[in-house]
Amino acid sequence: MKKLYLYLYKRYFTYLFIIFPSFVAVTLLADIIELFRKIKVMIFADIILYVIYQIPEKVYYVLPVSTVIALIFLARELINKNEVHAILTSGISIKDISISLVFITIFITALQIGNLEFLMPQAKLKSIEIYNKLKRSYSNDEEIKFAYNTWVSLEKDLFLYFDFIDFETKGGKNLVLIRFDENYYPVYRVESKSFKVLKNSIETFSSRVIVIQNIDNIDVQFVNQYTLPFKIDINDLKTLVAKRKPISLTQLYETAKIAEEYGHKYSYYWSKFYSKLASIFAPTVLSVFAVPFIWTRRKNRLFFIFVGIMLYWYLIALLSSISSTGLVPYQITLSVDVAFIIIGIFYLLRLRFIEL
């Protein structure tokens, strides 16, 4: 039995390694065509790098569908070559084969999670930088709404930190400003619970101002309102924190928590987090859904699989969009995964191979 499963896995990955790179190549080709249509400078080295950095994102979207199609090709091969008959006569049920194939997709889902968490964020950032360079543009495809936990250098010896700043209201929370002397010892420090960025200054509220002459001469004052005569350009700050655009699950979760904690409009970030959380398990979820229907020559069943795959992605996008308005709980997006798994298990438990 062990040899049989190894044979099935070998055949499965053979199909996957043919189908998956082909789909990735097609999506990259479409990106290249679109890139040539928009760019203003032709730097082939940057174009090649752009394509390379696009690969993790294409993998994320193509891998789930490739996983299911590889299962379909494997099942059709076993049926057309009558190998499935030999397997069944040896005492192994079609249900056992299906479950073993579903287990291998768990490994693929683990790779999907690793890609989203570790590869996609950095690759996406690099691809945007190269795209803006080729297009001679410095705009971001999604406007940054706020920043958090950020240090900013205002002058050579002057640094500012804030827990949170809303770019729309230009207001923020928990500011710390520190000035150092030539020996890099702190000589001036301002701590504030809230602040607002003005045109040529920063207005702080509920502040503590600390002036350090030496270790024995430290002056501390508590003031309700205090003006810092330093200028912060909001647009420059947006550019600085553009690297904070959340992509991975951990980044989306952190961003949503920060937005919620400081009263920003957090529905959008929670909806994106749960949308990613639902779709990241797509290789296994769609395989559980599809595997009961692949053991047939009937094209209507295969059509049902592809309709189900399309419905899966549309439902996740739809529920995520609705939840971003706050009309329904954000967690409702996960119900798509649950529903597809239930459907798959329901038919898997009743699976019989009738084409003998």
Confidence check: pLDDT of 294 > 90? yes
Task: State percent of the chain over pLDDT 70.
Answer: 96
Pair (122, 268) in one structural domain? yes
Pair (123, 261) in one structural domain? yes
Confidence check: pLDDT of 140 > 80? no
What total number of domains does the chain contain?
2
Pair (128, 151) in one structural domain? no
Pair (82, 208) in one structural domain? no
Pair (8, 132) in one structural domain? yes
In a domain, 285, yes or no: yes
Pair (154, 134) in one structural domain? no
Residue span of the structural domain in which 220 resides? 146-240
- Dihedral class, residue 221 (left if φ above 0, else alpha if ψ from -120 to 50, else beta): beta
Query: What pLDDT was estimated at residue 243?
Result: 62
Query: What pLDDT was estimated at residue 296?
Result: 87
> Given pLDDT bands bounded at 50, 70 and 90, which one contains residue 138?
low
> Given pLDDT bands bounded at 50, 70 and 90, which one contains residue 242?
low
Query: What pLDDT was estimated at residue 328?
Result: 94
Pair (210, 67) in one structural domain? no
Pair (8, 156) in one structural domain? no
The residue from 192, 208, 240 where one domain ends is 240
Least confident of 50-54, 289-293, 296-300, 352-356: 352-356
In a domain, 328, yes or no: yes
The residue from 240, 270, 301 where one domain ends is 240
Q: How many other C-beta atoms are found inside a 10 Å radius of the C-beta of residue 138?
A: 11
Average pLDDT for residues 340-352, to the nearest whole number?
94
> Given pLDDT bands bounded at 50, 70 and 90, which one contains residue 298?
confident
The residue from 210, 240, 270 where one domain ends is 240
Pair (46, 121) in one structural domain? yes
In a domain, 245, yes or no: no
Average pLDDT for residues 208-225, to the nearest whole number?
93
Q: Which CATH number covers residue 227?
A: 2.60.450.10
Pair (99, 225) in one structural domain? no
Confidence check: pLDDT of 41 > 90? no
Pair (343, 198) in one structural domain? no
pLDDT digits (tens, 9 = 90+) for 7-20: 999 999 999 999 99
Query: What pLDDT was estimated at residue 356?
Result: 47
In a domain, 249, yes or no: no
